[in-house]
Structure 1
Amino acid sequence: MSRAQHEMYGETYGERYGEPYAEPYGPSPTPPPELHDPHDPHDRYEDTYRPAYEAAAEPVVSPPEDRAPSRHGKPSKPSNPGSRARPRRATRRRRAVERPVPLRRLVPQALVVAFLAGGTTAFVAKDKAIELSVDGKPRTLHTFADDVSELLADEGVAVGAHDVVAPAPGTDLASGDEVAVRYGRPVHLTLDGQRRQVWTTAHTVDGALEQLGVRAEGAYVSTSRSRRIGLEGLALDVRTERTVTIMADGRPRTIRTNAATVRESVEQAGITLKGQDTTSVPQDGFPRDGQTITVLRITGEREVREESIPFDVLRTDDPSLFQGTEVVERAGLSGVRRDTYSVRVVNGVRQKPRRTRSEVVREARTQVVKVGTKPVPTSVRGADHLNWAGLAACESGGRPGAVDPSGTYGGLYQFDSRTWQNLGGVGRPQDASADEQTMRAKKLYVRSGVSPWPHCGGRLHG
C-alpha cells in the first residue's frame, strides 16, 4: 500500500477513535500512562509495541529470570537478593508485554488489508485475455477494455469505412474472445467491359474474385490469381466465359469465348473478314453472353452524278413599266453540282446509294426581273368599241402568255418583238399584263387597221 493510502486511512480511522493515526513505518507511539510510574527511579520504560503484522512475525519472549519456575511451581528468586526493585520492574515488564494491542489500533490496519485484497480481486476481474488479429496477423494480449471499440483505441488500431471488424465495434468483451480486423483494399475492376472501383478485404486476387462473386471458371484474368493484394490495391481486368453465336455465309457457329471484342470472337469462330466486310454490331464492342453476331459480306462500287442547282430570282420595281409588266433584265443561269455515291451490295442485296462526296462545278446565276408600277391606260380613242376579246380568242385562245411554235409571236394578240417595241412595249409581249397588251393592240389598230391580223381581224367587228 502506498504512503498516500496509509495517510487516507489514518485520517479516516485515526480521527474516528479520537487520536491521530500512527504511521506504521514511523516511530512507536507513546506508551499507555498506566504502564509508567514517574516516581519510581528504578522503573525505566521500554517500548514493546509493534504493528500487528510485525507482532505476528516476531513474538515477544520474556527474560529468563522472569519466567524460570522453581520446583514448587513458583518463580525462583532473583539472582541479586539484595535488590527490591527488580522483581517489581520485571512484573511491570511482563504486564506491558502481555497487554493486548488496543482495538482502535487494529481496526485501521485490518481495513487496509481488506482494501488491498478487494482491489487485487477487482484488478484481476477486469483483466481479459484477448486474441487480436489485425489483417491476418494474430497476437494474444491482456486488456482492461470493456468493448471492441475501446480495445482498438487502446491498441492504436484505426479502421475506415471499407474495413471489417468482427465482432462489430461496441461489442462487449470477455476473456477468451477473438477480435479480427481486416483492412479494405481498392480494386479498379474491369468486368466484362464495365469499369468500376470496388473494395475487398481479401489478400489475394483469387480471394477477391470469390468475395466479389465473380465467376472465375474459364475466365480471363489479367494477373496471377495467387498474387497478393497490398493495401494500395491494384487494377484487375476480368472477362468471364460467354456463349456467342456467329452467323456467317448462311451458317451459324456457336462458341464459348472470353474475347474482349466482337472482332476477336469472330476470329475465334474461324471466320475471316475481307474487304468491306463488317458485322451487325461494332467490331470493337464487347460480346455479351447469348448474343448473335451477323457477318455482313459487302461488295460495292462508286457512282458519280451531276445535278442542277436552281437559280434565284431578284425582282425590282420599275416606274417606267405599266403595272403587271415584268421584264427580265438579266436571265438566270442554273448551277451544276457533282455528287459521288457509294452503292453497296450486302449479302447479295443492293442497298440505297449513300452520298459520300459533293462538289459544285458551276455556281448558279441570279435572274433579275423589273416589275412595272405605272398605271395602265385602258382607253384608246377609235378602238374601244371593238370586240377585242373575240380577237384574242382567235389569235391565242385568250392566253396572255401564249407563244406560237416558232417562238416569233407571243401574247393575246400574237405580237412579234419588233412591233411590240415600236408600240412602246418593253421586253416580250407575252410577259406584259393582259390590259397592257390590249391597250397596245388598240394603238396598232388605230395605226394599221385589221391588217396585222389577216386571219382573225374580222372578229373585231363580229
Structure 2
Amino acid sequence: MYAAREAYAATETYAPHEAYVAPAHVPPPYVPPAYAAQPYEPFGPPQPYEPYEPQSPESYEPQSSQSFGPPQPYEPYEQQPPQPYEPPSPYGQYGPPYDPPSSPHGAYGPPEPFPRPAYASSEPSYDPATLITPYAPPFSQPSQQSPQPQPPLLPRQHGARSARGGQGERRASPRRIPRRRRSSRPAPSPDVLRKLLPQALVVAFLAGGTSAFVASDKAIKLSVDGVPRTMHTFADGVDDLLEEQGLAVGAHDIVAPAPGAGLASGDEVIVRHGRPVLLTLDGQQRRLWTTADTVDGALRQLGVRAEGAFLSVSRSSAIGRTGLALHVRTERSVTFMADGREHTIRTNAATVGQALTEAGIELRGQDTTSVPAGSFPRDGQTVTVMRITGSQEVREEVIPYDTVKTSDASLFKGTEIVAQQGAHGTRRVTYALRTVNGVKQKPRRLRQETVRLPVTERIRVGTKARPTSVAGADGLNWSALAACESGGRAGAVDASGNFGGLYQFDTRTWHALGGTGRPQDASPSEQTFRAKMLYVRRGASPWPHCGRRLTG
C-alpha cells in the first residue's frame, strides 16, 4: 500500500492542502464468484477405523542411532602459543583519568542538521489530523435494509473497508504523501570500531558456544523395566547414559541398543533387569533368570506350559528384583490299573495318592499301589492297584537237638559210646498268608513260641591206645570162622541187611565194641580185632553155627 502511494506521489504534482476530488464514475455491481453458485458435494458415509493391534514389548525394536550415520569426529584443538607478558599501564586497564572535552558536544562535534526536502520550507507544521482526510462519498444509493453499525476504523483500514463495501461505495484513492529523502550519516571513526570489535567477538563466541551446547544436547527416551521417560542428556553412548542415570547392569540384564552403541537425538534405550526365579517344575527344582516383571510373563519367557497347571502364586503376581520361589505342576496323563480295568486321567496332582482319589479309586484294607502313594506322578506313568487279602496260620516245627562229644581215656581210640541219647524239641510258629489280586504269596513269619526244649546228645570218645592182640583169643582159628560166616569176604552182607563183614557183626554190637560206621566198611584187621574182643566178653556164643571152627 505504501509503495503504491509513493509511486502515485512520484507521478503527480504535489500541492499542499489541495482538496480531494473523487473520480466521477460508479463502481460496477457486485457479482458473486462462480464457485459460490456450485452446491457442495457430500463426503459420503464415514469410513471405519482399522482395528488397533497392540504390540508386545518383546516385538518392539527401538530406532537405532545408525540411521543418522556415525558421529562426526571432533576437530583437533589447536593450542595457541603463549603471548609475551606486557606490564599494565600505571592507570590500569581503563587508561588515563577522564578529561571532559571543552566542547559540549564532545569529540564528535556538533550534530549536523537533518536535511529536509525543498518543499518543506513552505509547508506548515505537521498535524496528523490533516495528513489523511477521512473519505466521504459524494453520493449514496438507498439500501433496502437498515445499515448495521460498524466499528470505528483507523485511517489505514478505511480505504480497505471501502474497497470491500457493497454497491454505492467508491474506492478511495490514496492520499499523496510527501517523499522524504534519506540523509547520509557519517561513517563511524576507527576508535569506535576498535571499541566495538571486542564486543562483537564476545557476542560471536557466546553464539558459537550456545550453538555447540544445543548441538550436543540429545532428547532420549529411556525405558527401565517398562517405565518410559524422556530426558535430555549430553551422553555420547549408551554406556555414558547408564552411568549418568546410575543404572548398573549385570550379566542377566538386557540393554537395547547394546551398551557400546552410540546415541543420537530421538533414540530409545530399553533396560530390563534380570530377576532370579527358584522354579520347581514337576518336582524338579532349578534356579533361572528372567527379565519379566510378572509371573505370567516369566512363564511365557521360560517356555513353561501353564494351561491347566497348578501355580503356587497367582499369574498376575509381580516379580521383584529379589526374585521369588515358584512351584508349577503341569497337567499330566496317568493310567491306573484296578480290578481288571484301565483308568486314564489328566491331572496336576502332587502325589499318586491324590491322583488316585481324582480317578475315583478307593483303597480298602491292605490295598496298595505298585509305586509309593507319596511319589510324584509322571506323564504317561502306569500305576497298578493291588487288592490284598490276608490271613494267619499256626504251625508246629521240630527243634533239632545238639550233640556233645567228650574224651574218655578208658576207651580205646576209635571207640565212641553214647552216654545220653538226644531228643528233638517242638516250637509253635505263626505265619501271615496273603493273596495279591488272587495270587498266593510266600508266607511271612510273624511270631514263634517254644513248646518243648530239645535234649542234647552226649557221646564218650575213647583216647586209649588200641592193643595189637587180645589175651585169650590170639591162638584161635579166626580165618576158619571168617570162611564159615562170610566166605572170607570183608564186605559181605547177609540177605536181611542187618549183619555184615567177615564175622557178620550187627551194627549195634559193632558200635558197642568201639567201632564206627558199618562193620563191612572197616578193614579186615579191625574186624578181626573186634571179633577177638567179642570172644573175650561172650565166648563163641555170638557165632552159634560156626563158632566151633575156632578150635576145630
1:14 and 2:83 equivalent? yes
Q: Check the 8 A contact 2:478/2:528 in 1, yes or no.
A: no
SS in 1 for 2:505: coil
Deviation of 1:210 (Å): 1.7
1:136 and 2:201 equivalent? no
Superposed, 1:172-187 pairs within 5 Å as 172-187=262-277
1:283 and 2:373 equivalent? yes
Which residue in the other structure is 2:385 paired with?
Answer: 295
Measured in 1, the distance between the counterparts of 2:511 and 2:241 equals 118
Which residue in the other structure is 1:386 paired with?
Answer: 478
Measured in 1, the distance between the counterparts of 2:86 and 2:213 equals 33
1:355 and 2:439 equivalent? no
Q: How many matched pairs?
A: 386
SS in 2 for 1:299: strand
Measured in 1, the distance between the counterparts of 2:82 and 2:359 equals 99
Which residue in the other structure is 2:182 paired with?
Answer: none
Give the direction of change, closer, same or farther, for the CA distance of 1:282–1:99 in structure 2 (3 Å limit): closer
Which residue in the other structure is 2:162 paired with?
Answer: none
- Structure number with the higher helix fraction is 1
SS in 2 for 1:264: helix
SS in 2 for 1:442: helix
What do the CA deviations read for 1:312-345 (whole angstroms, capped 9, x no partner)? 5555555543332334455555555554433222
Q: Check the 8 A contact 1:183/1:231 in 2, yes or no.
A: yes
Q: Check the 8 A contact 2:221/2:231 in 1, yes or no.
A: yes
Measured in 1, the distance between the counterparts of 2:417 and 2:197 equals 144
- Out of 137, 145, 150, the residue aligned to residue 235 of structure 2 is 145
What amino acid is the match of 2:343?
R
Measured in 2, the distance between the counterparts of 1:47 and 1:367 equals 159
Deviation of 1:67 (Å): 6.8
Measured in 2, the distance between the counterparts of 1:300 and 1:218 equals 41
SS in 2 for 1:305: strand
Q: Check the 8 A contact 2:507/2:518 in 1, yes or no.
A: no
1:235 and 2:325 equivalent? yes
Deviation of 1:442 (Å): 0.5
What amino acid is the match of 2:380?
G
What do the CA deviations read for 1:423-456 (whole angstroms, capped 9, x no partner)? xx67x88799876664343033246531232245
Measured in 2, the distance between the counterparts of 1:211 and 1:289 equals 23
Which residue in the other structure is 2:353 paired with?
Answer: 263
Q: Check the 8 A contact 1:327/1:431 in 2, yes or no.
A: no
Q: Check the 8 A contact 2:414/2:516 in 1, yes or no.
A: no
Deviation of 1:213 (Å): 1.5
What amino acid is the match of 1:185?
R
- Structure number with the higher strand fraction is 1
What amino acid is the match of 1:14?
Q
Give RMSD over aligned pairs. 4.8
- Out of 289, 305, 316, the residue aligned to residue 226 of structure 1 is 316
Which residue in the other structure is 1:56 paired with?
Answer: none
Moved more, 160-169 or 217-226: 160-169
Measured in 2, the distance between the counterparts of 1:157 and 1:213 equals 29
Q: Check the 8 A contact 2:432/2:446 in 1, yes or no.
A: no
What amino acid is the match of 2:505?
Y
Q: Check the 8 A contact 1:167/1:179 in 2, yes or no.
A: yes
Measured in 1, the distance between the counterparts of 2:483 and 2:252 equals 104
What amino acid is the match of 1:386?
W
SS in 2 for 1:255: strand
TM-score, normalised to structure 2, is 0.56
What do the CA deviations read for 1:231-271 (whole angstroms, capped 9, x no partner)? 34333332222222322222223222222222232332332
Give the direction of change, closer, same or farther, for the CA distance of 1:172–1:98 in structure 2 (3 Å limit): closer
Measured in 2, the distance between the counterparts of 1:127 and 1:458 equals 149
- Percent of residue pairs identical: 55
SS in 2 for 1:286: coil
Deviation of 1:386 (Å): 0.7
Measured in 2, the distance between the counterparts of 1:450 and 1:154 equals 133
Deviation of 1:302 (Å): 1.9
- Out of 93, 115, 119, the residue aligned to residue 28 of structure 1 is 93
Measured in 2, the distance between the counterparts of 1:255 and 1:415 equals 77
Deviation of 1:211 (Å): 1.9
What do the CA deviations read for 1:204-236 (whole angstroms, capped 9, x no partner)? 222222222121212222332222233343333
TM-score, normalised to structure 1, is 0.65
Which residue in the other structure is 2:363 paired with?
Answer: 273
Q: Check the 8 A contact 1:164/1:183 in 2, yes or no.
A: yes
Measured in 2, the distance between the counterparts of 1:119 and 1:369 equals 128
Q: Check the 8 A contact 2:255/2:272 in 1, yes or no.
A: yes
Measured in 2, the distance between the counterparts of 1:47 and 1:251 equals 127
Structure 2: unaligned runs, 5 residues or longer: 1-77, 114-187
Q: Check the 8 A contact 2:498/2:507 in 1, yes or no.
A: no
Deviation of 1:311 (Å): 4.7
What amino acid is the match of 1:254?
T
Superposed, 1:6-405 pairs within 5 Å as 12=81, 14-15=83-84, 19=86, 27-28=92-93, 63=107, 65=109, 98-99=190-191, 110=201, 120-315=210-405, 317-328=407-418, 334=424, 336=426, 338-351=428-441, 353-359=442-448, 361=450, 369-381=459-471, 382-383=473-474, 385-387=477-479, 393=486
Give the direction of change, closer, same or farther, for the CA distance of 1:203–1:11 in structure 2 (3 Å limit): closer
Measured in 2, the distance between the counterparts of 1:461 and 1:130 equals 144
SS in 1 for 2:478: coil
What amino acid is the match of 2:83?
G
Q: Check the 8 A contact 1:205/1:224 in 2, yes or no.
A: yes
SS in 1 for 2:260: coil
1:450 and 2:519 equivalent? no
Q: Check the 8 A contact 1:14/1:21 in 2, yes or no.
A: no
Q: Check the 8 A contact 2:416/2:516 in 1, yes or no.
A: no
Q: Check the 8 A contact 2:278/2:325 in 1, yes or no.
A: yes
Which residue in the other structure is 1:413 paired with?
Answer: 505
What amino acid is the match of 2:474?
A
